[in-house]
Amino acid sequence: MSLIEVKDLCKDYVNDEIKTPVLHGLNFKIEKGEFVAIMGPSGSGKSTLMHILSFLDKLSTGEYLFNGRNVGELTDDELAEMRSNEVGFIFQAFNLLPRTSVMENVMLPLIYTGMKETERIEKAKKALISVGLGHRLDFFTNQLSGGEKQRVAIARALVNDPKVIFADEPTGNLDSKSGLAVMKILQNLNNGGHTIILVTHERYTADHAKRILRIKDGEIIADEKVENRIIAEHNDELVK
């Protein structure tokens, strides 16, 4: 059984009775442990697809199976539970709470789990150490560089032990060195067994993944293995 299976997925937006088709009959599978980049130009539908896959939006027609469950049949409460427990999010704009500490930001997804505070602290600390920020636990987010903010966002995405990590243009607001550090973390997480789905408009970023779904005008135009994958090395250099 595939972790993600999409069958004839379509998405339309309706505004004032005007229907705008965005996604047209998509079909693909993603297995557990894959690192997939969804790549396409602005307006191609890639972000809409990510929102559907991550339970932030609903499809119009077709089927979306997540770990065997038909997502289209889930209630809003069940979708909220899936967002909380099954997936983690990394956004281009970081989406960190201002004037709060790094630890508090990472602990945020755990607040409504019923977990004891000592356990929440321990899990957040472990996640931050895993992205190289064990020395920034008590810093406020406005004291961090852009690259450090994105690593906090990655730690927050990891803290619930999600089945899938969705990364939406995660290097878009970063310089090349900070962006490379983020891609190195994502590759290391994937090497450790995490499923990563990356959304990007840049071929360079997509080439860090193992597989690319290329989307244009709401249709998948290619589904290909990355032949010359870029590996983010420890010495901050690119190796092909």
Cα separation, 149 vs 203, whole angstroms: 24
Residues shown for the chain: 240
**Measured CA distances, 188 to 140, 212, 233 (Å):** 26, 18, 10
Cα separation, 190 vs 210, whole angstroms: 10
Tell me 97's DSSP state: P
Edge-to-edge strand list for the sheet holding 69-70: 18-30, 4-15, 61-66, 69-70
Taking only Cα atoms into account, the Rg of the chain, rounded to an integer number of angstroms, comes to 18
Q: Answer left, alpha or beta for residue 211, where phi above 0 means left and psi between -120 and 50 means alpha.
A: beta
Report the pLDDT value the prediction gives residue 16, as an integer from 0 to 100: 84
Average pLDDT per run of 10 along the chain, which is 240 residues long?
Answer: 96 90 97 97 94 95 96 92 91 90 93 86 94 93 93 94 93 89 93 96 95 97 95 54
Tell me 96's DSSP state: P
Cα separation, 75 vs 164, whole angstroms: 20
Cα separation, 8 vs 174, whole angstroms: 36
Task: Dump strand ranges (E) for 31-92.
Answer: 35-39, 61-66, 69-70, 87-91
How many CB atoms are closer than 10 A to CB 215? 23
Between β-strands 231-232 and 238-239, what pairing exists: parallel, antiparallel or unpaired?
antiparallel
Write the CB contacts of 83 (distance below 8 Å, at least 6 apart in sequence): 54, 55, 56
Q: Tell me which H or E stretch contains 156.
A: helix 146-158
User: Residue 102 has which token pair?
Assistant: 């790094």
